[in-house]
Amino acid sequence: MINLKLLGRTRAQESTHAIERMYITMRHLFNRGFYKPMGVSGETLRESLLILRPEIYGSIADDKAELSGLLYVIDRLPKGIEECRFINLTSDEGYGNSHFKPIVPPKRRRNCYRIDDEQMNIEITRGRSEIYDILTHLTFLFVESHKIMRRVIIDEEGSVTRDWQKLEKAVLQEEPLDQAQREIALTHTANILGRTFYEVQDIYPKFSLPGNPERFLNIIYWLGKLAIAETVNNDKRIITFSPVLRERLGHHIHGEIWADNIKQHLIKENLMHRPLHIISANMHSVMNTLYTPSALKTELKKKKPLEIYEALSNSTNGDLRSKVMKSALDNGMTFLEDKSGTNIDVQIFDTAKLNGKYGSWDIKTEEEAPVIIVMDYAFGEQAYETMDELLKPYNFEGNEIKMNVESISIMGKAGILEGGKGDIMIPSAHLFEGTADNYPFKNELSRADLEESDIAVVDGAMITVLGTSLQNRDILKFFHDSTWNVSGLEMEGAHYQKAIQAASKLRGSINSDVKVRYAYYASDNPLETGSTLASGGLGTTGVKPTYLITEKILEQIFKS
């Protein structure tokens, strides 16, 4: 029994060490300016990822290809990156004013530019966490590409199997594939990937795009093609970091511009002195909660509020969404589209213009009415940059003006370690992975506030991880079972709290007694097989906890 416990602990320690090595290596490679992912310089990253075997990347350490992990990664990288030998990470260096059209990955808000047939530029404006995210995904992609290469190359001269020849013929065919041709191509692809025909046929449509139904076959072909070129011709893939990016990183350039735009608007509208309440959330739940009662009175007579919120979360219900948006813009909401490069849009709600009431709480006099600032989600370490800059006093016409911040609320998705999708987590502290840094705080939201619904609620510490895609069962099980009493994991909590504590307790930028609220709903349970982020989205499961948390936050704001 003792040996088994020691073995489990050793595996968790080994995994933690692998994560630390990956981050040290990525920083080293960034300072160096370039590296070859499948060469000697990328060896430590590859080895660490294979030792770690993160849940999100499934069977990365096996000979067979990992299909769900591939879909997860492809959704977070720019379209066409599998065709590029040269990947250049840049700062915002003016490509937006060129003839290059930005390519925005569906699951990551970042501008990417296809420079030519061989080069993809990826703009980094959200800090180190974004670099770690990209390099980890690229390492996975290239490891998978070499699995394909090893299955199709027959000899040192580069001769390939019949399966590869048939796949190549299907991909290069100019006419669209009919069903028979597609199924033949998928049969050969299944052999190449070490997967069954059923598995390949099931994943194929999930990669398809309008105008590119055969995208899955194209991705497998180009991954294999570049890996073959690396092995046979020594045409190595290269990742570079632009000099401007290396110079700017960590200087809060984008965060400062973003925060100044918000403060300038508050001063212009004479809102800076009013009670300010900052919420980090999505761009729909606060707006929908505040304005649905007045904008959709007719619909609410026929359906329950939750059914309306579910309908509003569906992008096909454009008319409903437009009604709520118009009501919001006419009654106190201002939308500040990001132009700083942070990719964080902002909504500002002057609740004095809310037609007198929200729910059952009377809006106070105009001077006492809350002003709610909703900022879209930050990404990893970017949370510190943006919150730190937002809470700083603003220099206006030679005078230093402090923000009258009464509360800061953080809500969002997180991985849960005890429960399932849609459950709610109420943290009492944030731990920062890879360090002994810990941030206990008084959470104005409690388990009791949310337990009245039929949604399961857990509390305890939350771990702020260096990257959600790097966690494996051993690490998470250790955090869950140990005296740390961790209930979930996310990427921003400790960074937000570090900025809040610095501004309120040390620098005196905001009130020392600022109220803090944190609540998360579970997007996945990484400890359960098949329940990771790679297994798919929440669908409507996330609607109920999202709006329950939103309503509780607003209730406390209006009662304060």
pLDDT by residue (tens digit) across 214-227?
999 999 999 999 99
Q: Which CATH number fits domain 250-559: 3.40.50.11690, 3.40.50.1580, 3.40.50.10800, 3.30.2420.10?
A: 3.40.50.1580
pLDDT tens, residue by residue, 15-55: 888 888 888 999 999 999 999 999 999 999 999 888 888 87
User: Any idea which residue has 């993160």 for tokens?
Assistant: 54
At residue 368, the pLDDT reads 87
pLDDT tens, residue by residue, 417-445: 888 889 999 999 999 987 778 999 999 99
Provide CB contacts within 8 A for 73, sequence distance 6+.
Answer: 57, 137, 140, 141
How close are the terminal C-alpha atoms of the chain, in Å?
53
pLDDT tens, residue by residue, 71-96: 999 999 999 999 999 999 999 999 98
Supply the mean pLDDT for the chain: 90
User: Any idea which residue has 């709290």 for tokens?
Assistant: 497
pLDDT tier at 357, thresholds 50, 70, 90: low
* The pair of three-digit structure tokens given for residue 290, joined into one six-digit string: 């505040």
Question: How many angstroms separate the CA atoms of 403 and 408, rounded?
Answer: 12
Highest mean predicted confidence (pLDDT) among 308-322, 463-477, 494-508, 536-550: 494-508
Question: 431 burial class (0-12, 13-18, 19+ CB within 10 angstroms)?
Answer: buried
Mean pLDDT of 145-171: 94
More confident residue, 537 or 195: 195
6 has a pLDDT exceeding 80: no
At residue 554, the pLDDT reads 95
At residue 4, the pLDDT reads 47
CA of 505: how far to CAs of 118, 160, 385, 502, in Å? 51, 65, 18, 6
Strands, DSSP E only, in 20-85? 34-35
Mean pLDDT of 270-293: 95
At residue 538, the pLDDT reads 52
pLDDT tens, residue by residue, 316-340: 888 999 999 999 999 999 999 999 9
Question: How many angstroms separate the CA atoms of 239 and 242, rounded?
Answer: 10
536 has a pLDDT exceeding 70: no
DSSP-assigned beta bridge partners for residue 357 = 362
Q: What percent of the chain has pLDDT over 70?
A: 94
167 has a pLDDT exceeding 90: yes
Mean pLDDT of 179-183: 96
**Which element (helix H / strand E) includes 88?**
strand 86-90
Residue type, 312: L
Mean pLDDT of 545-552: 95
Question: How many angstroms separate the CA atoms of 415 and 50, rounded?
Answer: 22
At residue 1, the pLDDT reads 42
Half-sphere exposure of 110 (CA within 13 A, CB side): 28
More confident residue, 138 or 360: 138
- 3-class SS string, 232-281: HHCCCCEEEECHHHHHHCCCCHHHHHHHHHHHHHHHHCCCCCCCEEEEEC
534 has a pLDDT exceeding 90: no
CA of 242: how far to CAs of 47, 124, 129, 257, in Å? 26, 10, 17, 22
Helices 67-74 and 128-152 meet at what angle, rounded to 10? 140
The structure's pTM equals 0.86
DSSP-assigned beta bridge partners for residue 426 = 459
Mean pLDDT of 501-529: 90
More confident residue, 305 or 372: 372
Task: Phi first, then psi: give them for residue 314, nearest 5 degrees.
Answer: -90, 120
- CATH 3.40.50.1580 residue ranges of the chain are 250-559
Mean pLDDT of 104-125: 94
Give how far the C-alpha of residue 549 lies from the chain's centroid of Cα atoms, to the nearest Å.
20
**Which element (helix H / strand E) includes 50?**
helix 43-52
Question: How many angstroms separate the CA atoms of 332 and 311, rounded?
Answer: 24
Buried b (16+ CB within 10 A) or exposed e, 136-173: bbbbbbbbbbbbbbebbbeeeeeebeebbebbbebbee
